Amino acid sequence: MRTLIANFKMNKTPSQTKDYLISLLSRFESGKVDLTLCLPYTSLAIANLLCQGRDIRLGAQNLSDEEEGKNTGEISSAMLKDSGVDFVLIGHSERRKKFKEDFRAINRKIKLALKNGLGVILCIGESLAERNTLKTYETLKDQIELALKGLYENELERIVIAYEPIWAIGTGKTPTKNEIEKSVAEIRRVVGDDFSQNASQTVKVVYGGSIDSKNIRQFLSIKNLDGFLVGGACLDPNEFLKIISLI
């Protein structure tokens, strides 16, 4: 079954999320996709209520890199777990760029998420400058090694690596099918070198960046790709259901 992750970013109030979910859930069929909805913190309670008993996992979009205490405005992994969250997005490029999150902080966040029983969606990907100077694979290797430093091999079973080229996010541009396939192979090669061949095959890898119902077909046959992470196109339940029906 393919993995599909929705990133709502900073969109929808709790009431809007409620309307969205009523519309989505009335037409969502279990067993077709492995679906995780990454919502704003404020929408998690209503989503937890509405998604009870449905085949949908809830995700958050960030967490603190500290365990608890004097961190006003932050949310801990234990708080997320206790709110019914199963997964957390870590290291999204918008956080790396706007909030200066680096891969050392990302590594701490991953360890705290795993410690508290959350699954991790780790976002990696090159900038346009790195792509233009042929540094894509070098960038991916560095990011994976810093993010996963000190993890045990069996912990990779709870990690999804989202390959999200920064220049493709929200721009309507995507790499070619061939380019994504090569980056996915490179990601698995690095995991294989750093952990094991088994881990390189079992870790989930998805692609994210300007996916919608019009362009997804061309990416469905990419080798060793487990699924997709969708941002803008998940916000309309009709468009998102169309994507679900295609994958």
Site residues for ligand PEP, 30-59, by CB under 6 A, read none
Neighbours of 63 (CB within 10 A): 26
The nearest distance, CB 128 to ligand PEP, in angstroms, is 14
The yes or no reply on residue 127 touching ligand PEP (CB under 6 A) is: no
In the set 94, 126, 164, 181, the catalytic residue is 164
Q: Which residue has the tokens 């346009």?
A: 128
The nearest distance, CB 174 to ligand PEP, in angstroms, is 9
For ligand PEP, which residue of 3, 6, 7, 106 counts as binding (CB under 6 A)?
Answer: 7
HEC profile for 13-61? CHHHHHHHHHHHHHHCCCCCEEEEEECCHHHHHHHHHHCCCCCEEEEEC
Binding track, positions 160-189, relative to ligand PEP; x by CB under 6 A: ----x----xx-------------------
Q: How far is CA 245 from CA 27, 118, 174, in A?
A: 11, 28, 21
3-state secondary structure of 89: strand
Task: Please say if 179 is a catalytic residue.
Answer: no
Task: Please say if 145 is a catalytic residue.
Answer: no
The nearest distance, CB 82 to ligand PEP, in angstroms, is 26
Q: How far apart are CA 212 and CA 234, in angstroms?
A: 8
Total length of the chain: 247
The yes or no reply on residue 208 touching ligand PEP (CB under 6 A) is: yes
In sequence order, the β-bridge partners of residue 230 are 6
Nearer to ligand PEP, 107 or 210 (CB): 210
Cβ proximity of 72 and 62 under 8 Å: no
The yes or no reply on residue 227 touching ligand PEP (CB under 6 A) is: no
The nearest distance, CB 28 to ligand PEP, in angstroms, is 19
In the set 92, 94, 126, 181, the catalytic residue is 92
Contact set with ligand PEP (CB under 6 A): 7, 9, 92, 164, 169-170, 208-211, 229-233
Catalytic (active-site) positions? 92, 164
